[in-house]
Amino acid sequence: MPNTSQPLCRTALLASALAVLGVLTACGSESGTPSASTPRATEAPSTPGPDSGAATAPADGTTPSDTAGSASASARTDGRCHTSELRAAVGRVDPGAGQRNFPVVLTNTSDRTCTVYGYPGAAFVDASGEQLGPDPDRAPSSPVTLTLTPGKSAWAGLSFSSPQISGARTATPAALLVTPPDERDPIEVAWTAGEVPVGGDESSVSVTALEAGTGP
């Protein structure tokens, strides 16, 4: 009978060796490093959002500086003061060195800011409205533009030599007509300060340019 035990033994040993080799290969693949690494995710560039602090233009196309300019423009004055926006008054006499000096005050009674510049017009009139004496002379002054907010005033000095000293011909006016600078319509103010010179020597009356306030 032929002996078959040796080939069978060799076959069993070969199978066992292959099984061991397979186990070793599997263990090597589990403990080794991967052949290719997993790619990392790429982050998108960040863009400023509505709360990032980036400046954005208004929908109407204006810039913040345009808006500020509009607000500033609305605060500016709106031209000169007109007669209808002013009240006139004559202050208390300030005598000195043979002179009689009166502050003629213009007050802004409107609800807007306006300006005055230069000399007011002035004329003494009687009860019928007829002018007494010549127009006042303009005293040397340096006029400036005065800004009058509502309720603020400017004044000019009205002066003449005391008639008792000068010997000038006099009259007692019923009113003083005050015309704001660059206006045509006067404001009538009752005159209660007595006689004024209207003719003869030393009869001139003078007026100064407007200054801020209600008097010296």
CATH annotation of 83-212: 2.60.40
**What does the pLDDT read at residue 196?**
94
**Mean pLDDT in residue range 201-206:** 82
132 CB neighbour count, 10 Å cutoff: 18
110 and 150 Cβ atoms separated by less than 8 Å: yes
C-alpha pair distances (Å), 139 with each of 24, 104, 180, 206: 122, 14, 16, 6
Beta-carbon contacts of 184 under 8 Å, excluding residues fewer than 6 positions away, are: 83
The domain limits of the chain are 83-212
Element (H, E) at 89: strand 86-90
- Location of structure tokens 């929908």: 59
- Longest Cα–Cα distance in the chain: 182
Greater confidence (200 vs 170) lies with: 170
The pTM score is: 0.64
Query: For 90-139, what is each residue's pLDDT tens digit?
Result: 999 988 788 999 999 999 999 999 999 999 999 999 999 999 999 999 99
